[in-house]
Structure 1
């Protein structure tokens, strides 16, 4: 299912900047006549071994690690943080498998607007603009709003 025209895509990962992005969307969606579509992504967990001495150590298997369930929880926590128990009727949420930047760019094809935080929970917290927001700004098929955490 791809995003519908008239939707404001909001990428969330639980970071302070993504919460601010969802808050921004909440304040502006009705004025822009948009549905808020909250998206979190997940990638399959692929166990890997670490090189130890002359051989490979067995992978550390983490029981109950379900990336899709974690993404679902991230979305629900973000929605609850921003809206409390008053979830708007014009809000839908989805978890999609794939790289966050590429998923949001793909979903932007039919969207009115993409809203993302300036930095998320990626590997490089000290960057001014994170890789997801940079990817969206460079490749999205609609306007992009990048919201800072503060």
Structure 2
């Protein structure tokens, strides 16, 4: 269902819970950060690129990109001052170009996405896994970060 999955310390659901919570935390830090002049440091079109780059390079997370039902590890490099995200398929390095649309209450246009997979019932496996991970977690702040990260990552396209 998701395009990106983020893991910290393994590749099971517990590691994905940790990585997704870290993504929620990092997004909050990046999106709300301001310069001394009061302007925001991150523009809407940069946020996901910066998020994925940061969780890989600064937080030590592994990121998977799902394309056509296949999972590919995401690699992050900095070249010429630009942050580049890419994956390898059949020995070829392919860039990941992230597009972002910021919500605007005044434009009367609603941008929505539909899930990649059709299994979206209340008992879908990924929802059951998420609920179980939250039940097992005792850190309320971490659970909120996980939920926020899950909403961001499960609905980006």
TM-score range, shorter chain: under 0.3
TM-score w.r.t. length of structure 1: 0.28
How high is the TM-score relative to the length of structure 2? Answer: 0.27
Greater share of helix: 2
